Amino acid sequence: MRTTDVARHDEAKCLWPARATLGEGPFWMAAEGALYWLDIPGRKVHRLELGGGAQATWDTPLRIASLAPRRSGGFIAGTEQGLAFYEPRTGRLERMLDPEPQRPHNRCNDGKVDAEGRFWVGTMDDDEKAPTGALYRFDAQGHLARIDEGYTVTNGPAFSPDGRTLYVNDSPRRVTYAFDLAPDGTASRRREFLRFEEAHGFPDGMTVDAEGGLWIAFYAGGCVRRFSPTGDWLAEYRLPVSKTTSVAFGGERLDRLFVTTGRVGLGAAEVEAQPLAGGLFELDPGVRGVAPVPYAG
């Protein structure tokens, strides 16, 4: 990781002090003008309308760690029991497949949709100790492919604006990997793109902007950092909480950056010092994001 003149910012705004145990998985629904996000252990889906500020929350039947809209309606979800189709308003959850029935201590974690409408999802050891996690690609025809393995906590993923690079985090190892990504979904030439020190925190959820910048939330780091496509550390945005978990661009112009956070593992004194922990925050990134694509199935 190359350090240039890192721009420091400290202007995060809390939009929703939801006190989520572990906020995660934000994504923008342009058709609704709303941002969705999750509380994994709290078993909740949250929705915030940006125009009027209306809030809604639905309980989930399983722990859902990732959620993305489907072209055919509803959502695809990565859950503690594998992949499912889900509709939060009705609570209907249709389980599809468990990618790892032989690994009962694993669960799905972060998931994103690429430009071709394929859902990429990682798995992880639920105790966050064993390197039993893997990265999968799930296409519109229902075909599941294991892309990579040996992860303890698979996080990310993110795709460059031109669709040619895939980024994936293994959070406990403090490593961001990059892959070459072909139009047919083949990922190759895995390499270490970024490696972080203990003082930086753990690289967690991430996204890209229209200029190719990679935005990573740092769990136990209390910040979001932006990196160039060549690995230069460009900017750091501090938040008044330590457990920053994931990021997503949204708004009509895709020029607002939303950050989920959590309070899991915080002691009483830390919770008192971080009253907004578990809230949804907004940053002014100064760049636009890439329009999200629904799952094609």
Query: Where in the chain are the domains?
Result: 2-283
**Residues annotated within a binding site for a divalent metal cation:** 24, 155, 204
| Tokens representing residue 250 in the block | 């949204």
Predicted local confidence at residue 3, as pLDDT: 64
pLDDT tens profile 48-84: 999 999 999 999 999 999 999 999 999 999 999 999 9
Q: How high is the mean pLDDT of the chain?
A: 96
Predicted local confidence at residue 61, as pLDDT: 95
Query: Long-range contacts for 73-80 (Cβ within 8 Å, ≥24 apart)?
Result: 76/111, 76/119, 76/138, 76/295, 76/297, 78/108, 78/109, 78/110, 78/111, 78/121, 79/107, 79/108, 80/107, 80/108, 80/126
Please state the rounded mean pLDDT for residues 204-233: 98
Residue of 204, 232, 255, 284 marked catalytic: 204
Q: Which CATH architecture has domain 2-283?
A: 6 Propeller (2.120)
pLDDT tens profile 115-144: 999 999 999 999 999 999 999 999 999 999
Measured CA distances, 2 to 133, 153, 193, 234 (Å): 29, 25, 11, 9
Predicted local confidence at residue 10, as pLDDT: 84
Predicted local confidence at residue 140, as pLDDT: 94
Predicted local confidence at residue 1, as pLDDT: 65
pLDDT tens profile 23-32: 999 999 999 9
Please state the rounded mean pLDDT for residues 93-98: 94
Per the annotation, the verdict on 204 as an active-site residue is: yes
Q: Considering the chain, what percentage of its residues have pLDDT values greater than 90?
A: 96
- Statement: residue 277 has pLDDT above 90: yes
- Statement: residue 11 has pLDDT above 90: no
**Residues annotated within a binding site for substrate:** 107, 109, 127
Residue 201 — pLDDT band, cuts 50, 70, 90? very high
